Amino acid sequence: MVLFTFLCSLALAASSLTAAVPLESGAQPHPEQNKAHSNALAKSQSSSSSGALPAPLCFPSLGFQMPLFLPKDNTHWWCDPTTEYAFVGFSYEVTACQSREQLHKEFRDIRQHFSSRYVRLYGACDRDGFYDDIVDAAWDNGLGVHALVWFGFDGSDIWISRRDTLFAALHANPKAKFITRVVQFGSEPLFDNVLPHDQLAEQVILAKANLSSLNIPVTVSELAYGYQERGGAQDVLDAIDSINIHMLPFFSQNASTSDKAWPLVLNDLQWFIDHGNGKKMYFDENGWPSVTSPSVQPNSPLAVADIPNEHGYYILLDQHCEDLKSVVGGGVGWFAHIYSDDQEPGYGIYNSSGHLKFPFAPRTHC
C-alpha cells in the first residue's frame, strides 16, 4: 500500500508542518541572499559551454529524431540542462507495474499529446525486467527518464535491493544510459528520515561513483522542509548533481487558492537558490490536488482543493514562465504531479476514467 502510506506521509507532512517551525520562517530576506544568488549565477554562466548540441539536435529536445542505431556514447547526446526549463513532463507512478503495452501507449501520449521531454518515475515496481520495459518505452517515444530508487514508507531495507537491481539494469541494458537522465533517491528520504542525512549524502556519492562510467548523475527528490528539518542537510545538497524539489504549496499554512500560491513557491525556491550553490533545479513533484481525503489535508483553513485550483496552479506556473526561466542554473524545469488520478487520487491530469480534468498544454519555452 505504497500509495496509502504516501498519502499518510503527506498527512504527516501536514501535521508536522503545523506543529513545527513554520515553513514560512525563511521568507524574510536576509543579507546573504543576494550574494549567494550572484555567485550561483556566475557559476552557471561559466559552466554553460558543456559541448552539448543545441535543440533539436540534442536528446530529448522537442523535434529530436531518434537515431536508428545507438550512438557510441552519451557524451554529446543530452541537451544542456541549463537550456531546459518550463514544463518538462510528468511524474508517473509505477506501483501498478504497468504492462509494456501500457507504458508504450502512455509514454507516447506523454510525448506527443503534451510535448513532454521527460518522465519522472515515482513509486516502485519490483517485477523482473521492469526497468528494461521503461527504457524501451522511453527510447521508442523519445523521452528521457528521471529514474528512482524508492525507499517506500515501511522503514525496511528494500531500497538496497531496488538500488542494486536498478544499477544492474543501467549497466546491462545498452540503451539505459541514453534515456536515464538522472537517478533520484526518493521520495522525501529526509522528510521521512529513512537515513540520517550524512548517510544519505554518502549513498549519493557511492551511487555517483557507481554510475560515473555511464555518465548518469544522481539526485535526491525532496521538499525544502525535508532539508530544513535536518539542519539544512548541506552535505546532501553538496553531493547531489541537480536539485529535484517537491513543490506542494497546497500544504503551506498560508495556502488559499492556487492563483495566490506564487509567494509560497518563491519561498521554497529561494531557500534552494540560497543553499544550492547554483545547481540545476527541477520541481519534480509539483502540483495541487483537486480533492482532499483523510490523508490529504491542508494546513490552512483557506486552502481550496478542486479541479479549477489544480488547473490554476499550472496556469500560475505558465504565467511565471519568464521568472522560472531566469532562476540560477538555467531556469527551473517542472514536472506535473501526476499523470493520472489512478496513480494518485486528486493529483492526476487525467481522471480515473481516462478523461482530461482540464485543458493542459503548458508552455515548454518562453
Q: Which residues bind ligand NAG (CB under 6 A)?
A: 24, 27, 164, 167-168, 210, 254, 263-264, 267, 351-353, 355
Give whichever of 2 and 27 is closer to ligand NAG, judged by the CB atom: 27
* Comparison of 67 and 73: residue with beta carbon closer to ligand NAG: 73
CA–chain centroid gap for 271, Å, is 17
Q: Do residues 330 and 324 make contact, with C-beta atoms less than 8 angstroms apart?
A: no
Long-range CB pairs of 99-106, under 8 A, 24+ apart, other chains included: 100/133, 100/136, 100/137, 103/133, 103/134, 103/136, 103/137, 104/136, 104/137, 104/140, 104/141, 106/339
With CA atoms as reference, report the closest residue to 90 among 314, 323, 366. Answer: 314
**Cβ nearer to ligand NAG, comparing 76 with 357:** 357
Cβ closest to ligand NAG, residue 242 vs residue 267? 267
> Which one, 264 or 332, has the nearer CB to ligand NAG?
264
What residue spans of the chain are helical by DSSP H? 2-19, 32-46, 100-108, 130-141, 158-172, 176-179, 197-211, 224-228, 234-239, 262-275, 307-319, 321-325
The minimum distance between CB 55 and ligand NAG, in angstroms, equals 32
Please say which residue, 4 or 358, places its beta carbon nearer to ligand NAG: 358
Backbone angles phi, psi at 41, to 5 degrees: -60, -45
Compute the least distance from the CB of residue 83 to ligand NAG, in Å.
30
Q: How far is the CB of 174 from ligand NAG (least distance, A)?
A: 16
Let me know how long the chain is: 366
**Least distance from ligand NAG to the Cβ atom of residue 163, Å:** 6
Least separation, in Å, of the C-beta of 223 and ligand NAG? 14
Maximum Cα–Cα distance for the chain, whole Å? 56
Closest distance to ligand NAG from the beta carbon of 207 (Å): 8
